[in-house]
Amino acid sequence: MAPPGLIHSAPGLPDTCVLLQPLAVAAGMSGPTAETPSAIQICRIMRPDDANVAGNVHGGTILKMIEEAGAIISTRHCNSWNGERCVAALARVERTDFLSPMCIGEVAHVSAEITYTSKHSVEVQVHVMSENILTGTKKLTNKATLWYVPLSLKNVDKVLEVPPVVYSRQEQEEEGRKRYEAQKLARMETKWRNGDIVQPVLNPEPNTVSYSQSSLIHLVGPSDCTLHGFVHGGVTMKLMDEVAGIVAARHCKTNIVTASVDAINFHDKIRKGCVITISGRMTFTSNKSMEIEVLVDADPVVDNSQKRYRAASAFFTYVSLSQEGRSLPVPQLVPETEDEKKRFEEGKGRYLQMKAKRQGQPESQP
């Protein structure tokens, strides 16, 4: 039997445990306070099926754990009122960088904390630490910010109000509101891409967009879904990372790892029984990195009243590694069509923007 305050979580993850007590201090976080615990931690040992052939844990595996922690704490918070019961659905994941690799046999410690609430959304910040249980060495591998909205269990198309949190400092609420407005604007800006479709091309040339583009078709089953029949956001992100990894591997034909994920936007819910198509295509290459756009389309085959729709979209960045784990040069992408050239320039702009941000300089223009 698990000790007090410790429960085992999620079918299919027998080595996962959830700590229910507040962990803001242990995780190095300082967020608002509320009557319900404002932070949790999930722990799991990494197994061979979590990693690639080189022993590095898939980025999608880490993203799935991040979302699981966020879903637990946000759903618990949204049900802390004695009102209509709800489940928190993932709406957006802000850009997250993979700061250092995690390997088979290490333990992942995923700490999640609620840092802001608006009337209809919850911001959750997550830190991921990897622990070498032989030496006790720990290192930070990921930081992520996720946004959830509470959906009524009686009517999943109804968004409920979020219980407010109490901030220890007024500045926390003001900073949170700025982040909320920024992500809201960014979500609106992505909607124009929703009609874009990845089309197959016969006999493509190496290093072109068509040569490495890939698609995965998946039938959504019960194991992919919440108890309420909708796909876990973490399941979708893991599939997106798998497709992006295939695109990157096809392009450079080496060991590849996820370096970062730009904001992931979830445009609509995916129901059990849908057939989803996850498509990936390369949009930009620098000397040592590759940007891959991933689109998720859902086809409700058992519901003739609804047409195929865009469910999620994101940009993934990968790097190529040698057998010794050193960064390798990336073959340069050859855009052919006007659309491909346009996406290349847009990707170059995102790359220069993030490069300038890391260097603490004003944003560069391509």
Q: Which residues are catalytic?
A: 52, 241
Q: Which of 24, 28, 42, 40 has the alpha carbon at shortest distance from 74?
A: 40
E strands present in 322-362: 327-328
Distance CA 179, CA 261 (A): 18
Q: What are phi and psi of 357, to 5 degrees?
A: -65, -40
Going 277 to 351 to 114 to 163, the CA torsion angle's sign is: negative
Angle at CA of residue 302, ends 299 and 303, nearest 5°: 80
Q: Which of 70, 2, 51 is nearest to 241 (CA)?
A: 51
Q: Please give the Cα distance from 325 to 155 (Å, whole number).
A: 49
Percentages helix, strand, coil for the chain (3-state, rounded to 5) are 25, 35, 40
Do 70 and 112 meet the contact criterion of CB atoms below 8 Å apart? yes
